[in-house]
Amino acid sequence: MADRRYESLVLIHPDQGEAGMKETAARIRTLVEGQGGTVTQIQEWGQRDLSYLIGKQRRAYYVLLEYRVAPAGLQEVERNLKLMDAVLRFVSVRQDENAPPTPPRSEVRHFEQDDGDLDTDLEGMVDEGLER
């Protein structure tokens, strides 16, 4: 069967540290290559806050992998990801064959007011709302 394009976002336990995150990403790369696939891109997004607790953790290391592998190879990769203690959660998505590669993730943008004090501005808006 022909190889298909996939991308997987993997959340790695924060106790692994930077070195452990890189090691886990390398292990996933060898898993894909062991299934006859090729990894086209690995993006390490660093440690970020989670939207909700996962395994009593508030933060995790995010790693995005883009690769080509047969569907049976994807099942084996996902099976191994489920067994890795360092992996909190993952999601794999099939990409369109002619979709452009994912651009590198830019730094986190902070949405602040001109004076740089967003909290004070929000408090002022709440106080104004109470006065009406």
Cα distances (angstroms) measured from residue 78 to each of 72, 105, 106 = 10, 24, 27
What CATH number labels 4-131?
Answer: 3.30.70.60
Domain boundaries, the chain: 4-131
Of residues 55 and 116, more confidently modeled = 55
CA-CA distance, 57 to 13, in Å (whole number)?
8
pLDDT digits (tens, 9 = 90+) for 71-92: 999 999 999 999 999 999 999 9
CA-CA distance, 98 to 44, in Å (whole number)?
24
CA atoms within 13 A on the CB side of 115: 6
Q: What is the predicted pLDDT for the residue at 108?
A: 47
Average pLDDT of the chain?
Answer: 84
pLDDT band at 28, cuts 50/70/90?
very high
If we measure between CA atoms, which residue out of 71, 70, 66 comes closest to residue 28?
Answer: 66
pLDDT digits (tens, 9 = 90+) for 85-125: 999 999 999 998 887 887 887 644 444 444 555 454 455 54
What does pTM read for this prediction? 0.75
Residues whose CB is less than 8 angstroms from the CB of residue 97 and which lie 6 or more positions away in sequence, other chains included? 4, 5
